[in-house]
Amino acid sequence: MKKRHKVGMSPVLVGLMGSGKSSIGRRLARHLDLPLIDLDEMIVERAGCAIPEIFANQGEDAFRDMETEALRDALGRHAVIATGGGIVMRAGNMALLRQHPPVIWLKASPEFLAQRIDGDLNRPLIAAGDTLNKLQELARVRYPLYEECADFILPRGDMEKSEALAEILAFLKEWRKRVGNSGKKD
């Protein structure tokens, strides 16, 4: 049976590309009977073109502006929110994330992710090839940022998606007990 989420609880998923934010987010949203807001999809819809085109025609900075705007709009809503891997790259986004717990980091190693996304042309940051090196570089910069904003860290590895979902649900149950209906941390 689906359980309604308490008011104020809008879990936000963060993590490197390929960590399963959209797919696990979809399952989580279904289970909680909430909509899923996928920031990448929101950006593509608003821009009217795919992410590689935005990067190529307008540059990464323009993409990051769109991403911040999408994050602002999404965080006001009662939903599961799947972010793009680079959401933590702006201090303003980090501040927004910290104001909107719970944030869940799907933590996966660059080696694990490289196997999943190598050759994916829809991800401009790895389009030049050398996926593993690029992911290692991103992990070095971003892991500390994900850690800083996360209320819960889920180590991904070879875990089945159903197991990942169960762990997140167990965390959310504890979280609800801790914060009550406010959805805010102490």
Binding site for ligand S3P (CB under 6 A): 17, 21, 40, 51, 84-86, 123-125
Q: What is the closest distance, in whole angstroms, from the C-beta atom of residue 86 to ligand S3P in the complex? A: 3
Q: Among residues 103 and 179, whose Cβ is nearest to ligand S3P? A: 103
Q: Among residues 85 and 101, whose Cβ is nearest to ligand S3P? A: 85
Q: Among residues 43 and 172, whose Cβ is nearest to ligand S3P? A: 43
Q: What is the closest distance, in whole angstroms, from the C-beta atom of residue 85 to ligand S3P in the complex? A: 3
Q: Which residue has the tokens 């590689």?
A: 52
Q: Among residues 42 and 179, whose Cβ is nearest to ligand S3P? A: 42
HEC assignment per residue over the chain: CCCCCCCCCCCEEECCCCCCHHHHHHHHHHHHCCCEEEHHHHHHHHHCCCHHHHHHHHCHHHHHHHHHHHHHHHHCCCCEEECCHHHHHCHHHHHHHHHCCCEEEEECCHHHHHHHHCCCCCCHHHCCCCHHHHHHHHHHHHHHHHHHHCCEEEECCCCCHHHHHHHHHHHHHHHHHHHCCCCCCC
Task: Collect all residues with Cβ–Cβ distance below 8 Å to 118 and sequence separation of at least 6.
Answer: 126, 131, 132
Beta strand pairing call for 103-107 and 80-82: unpaired
Q: Among residues 86 and 102, whose Cβ is nearest to ligand S3P? A: 86
